[in-house]
Amino acid sequence: MKTIIVNVPDNEEEFFLSLFKKNKLKSRVLTEEDREELAISKWINEGLQSEDVPVETIYDHFRKHGVNC
């Protein structure tokens, strides 16, 4: 199964949701919080791949702010 993210104008949301339903496709509207979390995870992934910041430093920062890792 693949995931595709589609950005649609607000006034077209109902059309696309009904189109997905008609074709028996699962759909989900992301909240602003979901979008922020995706952006943060992208930045973290890029940082880990660049090796500019040691992984342990990132984990320490998360632990300090109450994020389980």
pTM: 0.51
Domain assignment present for residue 2? The answer is no
Contact yes or no for 16/8 (Cβ under 8 A): yes
pLDDT for res 21 = 95
Tokens representing 16 are 């696309």
Range of the domain at 49: 30-69
Residue 57 maps to a domain: yes
50 assigned to some structural domain: yes
- The answer to whether residue 35 is domain-embedded is yes
- Mean pLDDT split into 10-residue runs, the chain, 69 residues: 89 94 93 89 82 79 78
Distance, C-alpha 65 to centroid of its chain: 20
| Number of structural domains in the chain | 1
pLDDT at 69: 64
- Looking at residue 18, its pLDDT comes to 96
Answer whether residue 58 is part of any domain. yes
Cα distance between residue 66 and residue 28, in whole Å: 28
- The answer to whether residue 63 sits within a structural domain is yes
Which of 49, 4, 47 shows the shortest CA–CA distance to 27?
4
